[in-house]
Structure 1
Amino acid sequence: MPPEDNCNYRFLLADDHSLIRQGMEFVIEEIGLEGDIFHASNLNKLMEIIEKESIDFAIIDAMFPDGNSLAVIPEIKKNSPKTKILVFSGLDERSQSLRYINAGADGFLSKMSEEEETKEAVTRFCKEGKYLSSVTQSALVEVYINPNAANPLQKLTSRELQIAELYAKGLGNLEIANILEVKQNTISTTKKRIFEKLDIENIVELIDLLKIS
């Protein structure tokens, strides 16, 4: 459960952009919350703080220079079960939020949100220990109606999934092309299509997605 009103909160703000962290700290102060605020600019620092401090609320980005927060959300919950996690990200909320919720996050807030919406979201997150926007709620309803919608890998053809798994094993374009006996250009084109379908930008994200799907 989140701390009761009038208690001192312990926040962790994790984002590789200091302006984003400062902006969120301003939001926290604006809505009248008090307590200690810790900052992290990468995943290593994030986990270091989680392990050393008793964090009530972690507001974290989805992507960092050293990886995707999908990889550490389960670790945060393992090390500090009481810590509530709000993912604050510029990723497309409709297609991406459930990935983070499924990994253990307690909410997802888009960086495209207006200031008042951000304040309301953080307020609700701190009072209730969770935050689900109308967009994420709509995505949850869609998954209820169509369970396959929860797994973005369902968007891939069997061939694309095979190639994605080979990339995840550390193979390069030439090696995959030789294994599948196709041209290297074909593999490169397929890789681009996989990334577009999954709305990801690199192999690290692909590996994380394969782990939780």
Structure 2
Amino acid sequence: MTDTIKVVVADDHPLIRAGVRALLLSLDDLDLVGEAADGDEAIRIARATRPDVVLMDLHMPGTDGVTATRSITAELPDTAVLVVTMVEDDASVFAAMCAGARGYLLKGADQDELRRAITAVAHGEAIFGSRVAARVLALLAHPPREVPFPQLTDRERQVLDELARGRNNASIARVLNVSTRTVANHVSTIFAKLQLADRAEAIVRAREAGLGHRQPT
């Protein structure tokens, strides 16, 4: 690795990317070599630029950050992924770690903390923000039961579970006490995140992962 650390930022929010861009351009030892707005683009740019560090958001359209992290770390072992996200629940932290992320920061981190974290993971260290570190220690001591489809939110997983039980959108809405439109939006998001073609494929994938085995009442 050269003295200058090559960085790619992957985040679907233009303002976040602009803020990171401004920081990196102000520092001589960090070089921004690419920006991505979703996981698929992050993978393509990482392949093309071979960065030292990818700053990865978790919740992005299309391929999510966990899946993109897994692909990048498997294909480019010399590239470190530093998760920079708003979410700090145990499932997200655990999924990112299992996918190969070397660090996990929340978006409230200041510029000095972000710079230190980029430098640390680029040199092979693991680093976690102060609010995440306690969760990481707890997860190492008591790893949670593996959650199917960790890229989904809890609500999306509930919807997929009900879908796998054979319920239609109206029935799912009644069970979860939400509107049918809300269920339809969740179903569309699930299809996008898991790259599913239709409900039949969703049911098969969900049941293979252990969801939907209890029959609807």
Fold conserved between structures, TM > 0.5: yes
The corresponding residue for 1:203 is 190
2:56 and 2:69 in contact (8 A); partners too: no
2:12 and 2:61 in contact (8 A); partners too: yes
Residues 134/95 of structure 1: CA separation in 2 closer, same or farther (3 Å cut):
farther
Residues 169/126 of structure 1: CA separation in 2 closer, same or farther (3 Å cut):
farther
SS of corresponding position for 1:147 = coil
TM-score if structure 1 supplies the norm length? 0.67
Percent of aligned positions with the same letter in both sequences?
Answer: 19
Unpaired stretches in structure 1, ≥5 consecutive residues:
154-160, 178-183, 191-201
The corresponding residue for 1:121 is 117
Structure 2 CA distance for aligned equivalents of residues 32 and 187 of structure 1: 55
Shift, 1:98, TM fit = 2.3
The corresponding residue for 2:86 is 90
Within-5 A mapping of 1:45-56: 45-56=41-52
Unpaired stretches in structure 2, ≥5 consecutive residues:
149-156, 179-188, 196-205, 210-217
> What RMSD over aligned residues (CA atoms) do the two structures have, in Å?
3.7
1:10 and 1:37 in contact (8 A); partners too: yes
TM-score if structure 2 supplies the norm length? 0.66
1:68 and 1:205 in contact (8 A); partners too: no
> What letter matches 1:70 in structure 2?
V
Determine if the alignment matches structure 1 residue 188 to structure 2 residue 182. Answer: no
2:38 and 2:62 in contact (8 A); partners too: yes
1:139 to 131, 135, 141: 135
Structure 2 CA distance for aligned equivalents of residues 66 and 58 of structure 1: 18
> What letter matches 2:14 in structure 1?
S
The corresponding residue for 1:41 is 37
Structure 2 CA distance for aligned equivalents of residues 168 and 203 of structure 1: 12
The corresponding residue for 1:194 is none
Residue correspondences, number: 183
1:98 and 1:136 in contact (8 A); partners too: no
Determine if the alignment matches structure 1 residue 58 to structure 2 residue 54. Answer: yes
SS of corresponding position for 1:44 = helix
1:14 and 1:46 in contact (8 A); partners too: yes
1:95-117 deviation line (CA, Å, top 9, x unaligned): 63222111211111100223333
Structure 1 CA distance for aligned equivalents of residues 108 and 30 of structure 2: 25
The corresponding residue for 1:103 is 99
1:143-165 deviation line (CA, Å, top 9, x unaligned): 244333x6467xxxxxxx88744
Structure 2 CA distance for aligned equivalents of residues 138 and 28 of structure 1: 28
The corresponding residue for 2:169 is 173
> What letter matches 2:143 in structure 1?
P
SS of corresponding position for 2:78 = coil
